[in-house]
Amino acid sequence: MILVTGGAGFIGANFVLDWLASPGNEAVVNLDILSYAGNPETLASLAGDARHIFVHGDIGDSALVARLLAEHRPRAIVNFAAESHVDRSIHSPGAFIQTNVVGTFNLLEAVRAYWGTLDGAAKSDFRFLHVSTDEVYGSLGKDEPAFTEQHRYEPNSPYSASKAASDHLVRAYHHTYGLPVLTTNCSNNYGPYHFPEKLIPLMIVNALAGKALPVYGDGQQIRDWLYVKDHCSAIRRVLEAGTTGEVYNVGGWNEKPNLDIVHTVCALLDELRPRTDGAAYSQQITYVTDRPGHDRRYAIDAGKIERELGWKPAETFETGIRKTVQWYLDHQDWVANVQSGAYRDWVEQNYGERVA
């Protein structure tokens, strides 16, 4: 048995689905508060599967977490639970502090108490894997080397600052209490079941709806892109063989400017679902006012996880983005169902106020 937190969100749900699709893997207790980005429909294929136990709840609810740990006795915890959207953190930073900092602290306290009750192999084999982001490292100049695990933390948004704080708490619980932790810091994920507030799904959804494709500033912000199923395989490998107390950066070796990403999505849609008027989707691109404090470049050096654990991504960006666009074309019902009134209100709040 493993406990997964945030397992109805984008990366967490992909991890749960992949985990249970692999023969021989243990059952999963899936704890998720079902905020706006937590979607039970993503897990619909697991209905009736006794290996998936879904619990609606908050990682900050110490009593609930303690009960789940005592009842199910997991041998590992994989912590995906987080508020994760930079723009939302700019508008409403308090939610990010509450979930990412206070929630992680409460989770660690409950796990520390549970771990203290274990004996022998159960105690030595237990693992707490904390999933974090490359954004904690700040922004890179154009020619600076990519982030390694030794890079100084320099978070620049309320989101990245809250994740940096959670990373520090995880580290401290290992060094102070001996809790056997692992931390992964990943680059930008993309793939199936991605909530359409993030760049790639937003471009797909807006393009198909005939809406503007909003590009911040000059569109030359550079990110490293990691296909979500590659990220899931990296987490499984770190959980299996990672050294406790260590940090592993997980990246796709795919640095690309945002504008290039948008043009790639447009070109794939031109091929796979052409506009009825024959025009190119790129005609819908609109440049809008950049967001405050927008980091210019992130880049992950994923050499450590390859050297020490033998992991590297299976997908190139070209193969991964084609699979992603095709998935959204094939799952329009899922997309329509997540675009609630609250989602539309958010898009209007975030993009409606930006001057083209």
Write the DSSP assignment of 281-335 as a string of letters.
GGGGEEEEPPPTT---B--B--HHHHHHH----S--HHHHHHHHHHHHHH-HHHH
Q: What is the dihedral of CA 97, 98, 102, 108, to 10 degrees?
A: -110
Contact in structure between 119 and 192 (CB atoms under 8 Å):
no
SS3 content of the chain, % helix, strand, coil (to 5): 50, 15, 35
Catalytic residue among 134, 197, 224, 315: 134
Pull the structure tokens for residue 356. 């083209």
SS3 13: helix
Catalytic residue among 135, 197, 255, 301: 135
d(CA 93, CA 75): 33
Alpha helices of 117-197 — where are they, by DSSP H?
120-125, 158-177
Q: What contacts 122, CB < 8 A, 6 or more positions away?
A: 75
d(CA 54, CA 13): 11
Catalytic residue among 32, 87, 137, 159: 159
Q: Is residue 134 annotated as a catalytic residue, yes or no? A: yes
Task: Supply φ then ψ for residue 113, to 5 degrees.
Answer: -65, -45
Cα 251 to Cα 165, 184, 355: the distances in Å are 21, 10, 33
d(CA 317, CA 225): 7
Write the DSSP assignment of 136-154 as a string of letters.
GG----TTSPPB-TTSPP-
d(CA 332, CA 267): 19
Contact in structure between 261 and 226 (CB atoms under 8 Å):
no
SS3 189: strand
> Which residues are designated catalytic?
134-135, 159
